[in-house]
Chain A
Amino acid sequence: MQVSLSAFAYLFSELVQYCQSRVSHIGELERRLEEVGYGVGVRLLEVLCFRERGSRREVRLLDMLKFVHSTLWRYLFGRQARDLEQSNTAEDEYMISDYDLFVIKFVSVPKEMGHLNCAAFVAGVVKGVLDGAGFPARVTAHFVTVKDQPKPKTTILMKFDPSVMQREQRMPAS
């Protein structure tokens, strides 16, 4: 089923304005967008596993990340995400990056709002998926400038709960 991009952009802009009128600072705005995305993520997890994966669940961290990077991204954006990488500085941090997400295509952030990133909505979707599957994490969206590219890429940063890392260590090596 196809939905017009302008219809979505209009709806999303109304959503952002709705949240904006109820918060006092940027951090809260991003959190509200995350909350909206969270409800979507929890439901997408169940539906995608049922429809696309033949009722197969992921129980390993790497498999879960691959699920987000390919199955979830393909459903949301029609293609796999660009990069999936583990942070060099922390073992429990992973990043998924992509360029030109249509969600924020028509969002222009005024200077007073500094580093507001409306892809917090997408971060919320990812958080809903990870939390629902039993891999709780802090998920945030950031702009990262890339050499030789006019626009920054959007990075979804996932920092997993210690409980997840402990469980992964206890499991047999896959």
Chain B
Amino acid sequence: MAAPVLHFVVVGHDDHPIFETDLLSKSTDASGREERPQYLYHFVMHAALDAVEEQEWSTNAMHLGVVDRFNNYQVSAFTTAGHMRFLLLHDGRGDEIVKNFFKDVYELYLRVMLNPFFIPTAKITSPLFQQRVKALARQYFR
């Protein structure tokens, strides 16, 4: 049975990630990540961005659902009004759960970006943000 996968990325306007985290690892440092194929995740998510761009112009909704598949991985996407993309790489979680997860992360993101010192192209480095995103993941994807 394959190991569960849950990887979350926030992508800015120029297709560069401003935040990423593995939602399954308990610690905040990178020690538990070597076994996981990090570069594969980056590749799959980056490739999914094309599909996201197609979808985001065809609907008024923010939640785009599953936009791309790769082997047994699926990529779900969420586009905010300001065209910041939330991508979740997972192995088949329910769409409603993913949608609610995205909505809650969206509220967290709003608080971060309303900060007048936040630049839209800068990485989100707040440890509190990462903590809260992981807590949401534990709540929704337990």
Contact = CB atoms under 8 A, between A and B. Distances in A.
A45 interface: yes
A88 interface: no
A56 B114 contact: no
A113 to B, nearest CB: 28
Contact of B60 (A43, A47, A57, A132): A57
Majority secondary structure, A binding face: helix
B79 A57 contact: yes
Interface string B48-63: 0000000011111110
A173 interface: no
B32 interface: no
Contact of B62 (A55, A133, A134): A55
Interface residues of B, number: 20
Contacts of B61: 55-57
Interface string A45-87: 1111110010111110000000000000000000000000000
B121 to A, nearest CB: 11
A72 to B, nearest CB: 12
Interface residue range, chain A: 20 to 34
B69 to A, nearest CB: 24
Contacts of B73: none
Interface string B64-90: 000000000000000111110000000
Contact of B110 (A46, A57, A59): A46
B110 A50 contact: yes
A28 to B, nearest CB: 22
Most chain-B Cβ atoms within 10 A of its Cβ — which of A42, A47, A49, A134? Answer: A134
A7 interface: no
Given A56-B61, A57-B81, A133-B81, A47 B116 contact: no
A45 B113 contact: no
Nearest to A43: B114
Interface string A137-174: 00000000000000000000000000000010001000
Contact of A167 (B57, B103, B113): B57
Contacts of A27: none
A171 B59 CA distance: 11
Given A56-B60, A57-B80, A59-B58, 19 more contacts: A42-B82, A42-B113, A43-B114, A46-B80, A46-B81, A46-B113, A46-B114, A50-B106, A50-B110, A55-B62, A55-B103, A56-B62, A57-B79, A59-B57, A59-B60, A133-B81, A133-B82, A167-B57, A171-B57
25 contacts: A42-B82, A42-B113, A42-B120, A43-B113, A46-B82, A46-B113, A46-B114, A48-B81, A49-B80, A49-B81, A50-B107, A53-B81, A55-B81, A55-B103, A55-B106, A57-B60, A57-B62, A57-B79, A57-B81, A58-B60, A59-B57, A59-B58, A132-B81, A132-B82, A134-B83
